[in-house]
Amino acid sequence: MSALNQLLATLKVEANVFHNGQYCGMWAIDTSGTQEMSFHVVTHGTCYLQVGEEILELDTGDAVFFPSDASHRVSNLSTQEVALNVAQSIPFNGSIENGSIENGSTGLVCGHFGHQHPMFEKLLAQLPEKIVVRNSNNTASSTIIKLLLAESVVSGQSTNLLLNRLSDCLFYLLLRDHLDTNNGVFAALAHPKLSHSMELIHAQTESKVSVDEMASAAGMSRSAFSALFKEMLEQSPMEYLSSWRMTQAYRWLADEGISTLEAALRSGYESEASFSKAFKRVMGFGPGQARRA
């Protein structure tokens, strides 16, 4: 399993599609306010996206993601003449062939990504305010979007399990293929040298890993590796290793309800006290609170 796979599996990020329908006439929506990463996919037609002073036109197959739940406006107009969240959408009923799509309408699949880990918010803070994925090239993302578009029409209901899982895939591909970050965890995972050390860190939860071993995996000297790692992640290699192990430990405590001592041993710590201190420093609360979660 790659480091990115491990990261997403540990954070348990899952999509929840709460809207699948079409808008006709004059309409405008803003789905912010959930404090979760939200998204819209245009299933047919066109519309306008406004975030702050910027206005973009979205076409069929385009998708927009809001990692920080930014306030936004999606509308049939590029102006603010229509009141937000007043117009009602029309559900699909059947397929394109039997006329379920209204003339002049715009179809939207809307949802948000839920998670069960406090570290997810720290990762989202590394992402831009919005991410627009255009369905204009032959990429894996565009393939998933095509499947999502087809399912949105034939499902005959607001949401379903397949729409959620396709959205999960789209989120994964977004992180893998479309982010252009200069620092942070995602940048390190994609770095030609640091990615190898990140794989080593994520694979070794219980056994001790030295900075020399990390540097060797990256094919760099210890000093050059440590400097590059600190520059990209704003943490030393050992600080990130500790953070990753606490991220894993939270999952064990919250999901399995294991004891603090067992979590300490799984995380490579020899004493419960040193583990508890490290866990609280990284997570902001103690192992007991994680277990109650």
How far apart are the two ends of the chain, measured CA to CA in Å? 27
Angle at CA 113, nearest 5°, toward 109 and 115? 160
Taking the C-alpha atoms of residue 237 and residue 254, their distance in angstroms, rounded to an integer, is 26
pLDDT tens profile 228-264: 999 998 899 999 999 889 988 998 998 899 999 999 9
* Extents of the domains making up the chain: 17-179, 186-292
Percent of the chain exceeding pLDDT 90 equals 41
pLDDT tens profile 137-185: 677 877 888 888 888 877 655 457 888 888 888 888 877 665 556 778 8
CB contact at 8 A, 195 and 188? yes
pLDDT, average across residues 62-76: 92
The domain 17-179: what is its CATH number? Answer: 2.60.120
Q: Is the CATH code 3.40.50.920 the one for domain 186-292?
A: no
CB contact at 8 A, 44 and 60? yes
Domains 17-179 and 186-292 share a fold: no
